[in-house]
Homo-oligomer: A and B are copies of this chain.
Amino acid sequence: MDKRAAHIARRMADIEPFHVMDLLARARRLEAAGRSIVHLEIGEPDFPTPEPIMEAGRKALADGHTHYTPAVGLPALRETIAGFYRDRHGVDVSPERIIITPGASGALLLVMAVLLDPGDQVLMADPGYPCNRHFVRTFEGEAVSVPVGPESAYQLTAEHLESHWGERSVAAMVASPANPTGTLVSADTMKRMLAFTAGRGGRLIVDEIYHGLVYDEEAITALAHSPDVFVINSFSKYFGMTGWRLGWIVAPEDYVRSIDKLAQNLFLAAPTPAQHAALAAFQPETLQILDARREAFRERRDFLLPALRDLGFGIPVTPEGAFYIYADSTAFDSDSQRLAERLLEEVGVAITPGLDFGHHRPQAHVRFAYTREIAELEEGVARLRRSLG
């Protein structure tokens, strides 16, 4: 055998695993050994899939819906989603532009694959969802990570685009609300970024997967401002369907045919039982359950946010959505990884160090997720106080 025996693509050197997994594994070992662990690291709602969706899932199995659907999804589901944009957002979106995907992950994969030639750049905020830059790298594009801080609510602005857009830039990507910061892009900033990218012949990709989980106002979809934006959404977070693996793209009309043929080749289709189950996601009965859950998340945030500030974490921008709080932890340790390890070992509290979210001051930050009940959050805060107070 020659040296190529373990030939691994160069991209793999740039693609990082979720670093928190090691911490999670350690937490599980401690739990197995009898320790009580408070989980503030988990990016998945604790709520089960709402009963009307479960019921539709059971019915799908009873009706034998286990064969392939069209690559772009069940026509009825695409129409239902179009109806949701019309009813909830007052926006007219043709079902033809809605492509059902295996999770928002599948949506990001298709959008990057259809947009990026080798060397093409995508601008994105750092800190941000780590997979975004890895999707870009996977298709030989270049993620341009723009350091952002509290002065822009940890979001890209039109000014960032102006100063970082280059010859090879083809798109910018924002998430509203964002992971790990929970912050929103304002309507004004969104409009200005859309105008900027359109002016450069580029595209804006807007991740709205936490869109249903906004607490202080009604979230406005980027589709309200332009039909030429890529919007990515998901049934995972707001609709409580993480493990079903179902998301969607709303694509500009010019891209629909390309995305269709790519989905045929790369996925064949999204899971069929999940698509049938999701038909119940927009029923009034389901939306009522989801709104009650949004209230529960809001209460959790309204408990955890002041408690963390009171402990001495720096949270200069109030997170308005998702279920995350991104906090400056330098009052306690200059190394957030070390802090997270210490908190796990000392008081059994699991949090996510900044390392997973990019390269801009990760060691100064940690992420708290409020995906557990208030009682557990209270216990977590009490333990943090014991260690840090």
Contacts and interface: CB of A to CB of B under 8 A. Distances in A.
A140 B138 contact: no
The list of the 10 closest CB pairs from A to B, nearest first, reads A243-B272, A4-B201, A17-B261, A2-B201, A134-B265, A49-B66, A245-B271, A66-B243, A5-B201, A131-B265
A66 B265 contact: no
| Oligomer: number of copies | 2
Interface of A: 1-12, 15-18, 21, 44, 48-49, 54, 57-58, 61, 64-69, 102-103, 105-106, 109, 113-118, 120, 130-131, 134-135, 138-140, 170, 198-203, 240-245, 254-255, 258, 260-262, 264-274
A243 B273 contact: yes
Contact of A8 (B64, B102, B114): B114
B68 A243 contact: yes
A228 to B, nearest CB: 8
B3 A201 contact: yes
Nearest to A43: B68
A265 B15 contact: yes
Nearest to A64: B48
Nearest to A53: B66
A135 B67 contact: no
A261 B113 contact: no
A52 B23 CA distance: 38
Contacts of A9: 113-117, 120, 139
11 contacts: A4-B170, A8-B114, A10-B117, A12-B258, A12-B261, A21-B264, A68-B242, A105-B267, A131-B266, A135-B266, A245-B267
A77 B198 CA distance: 47
B273 A11 contact: no
Nearest to A6: B254
A39 to B, nearest CB: 13
Contacts of A138: 113, 139, 262, 265-266
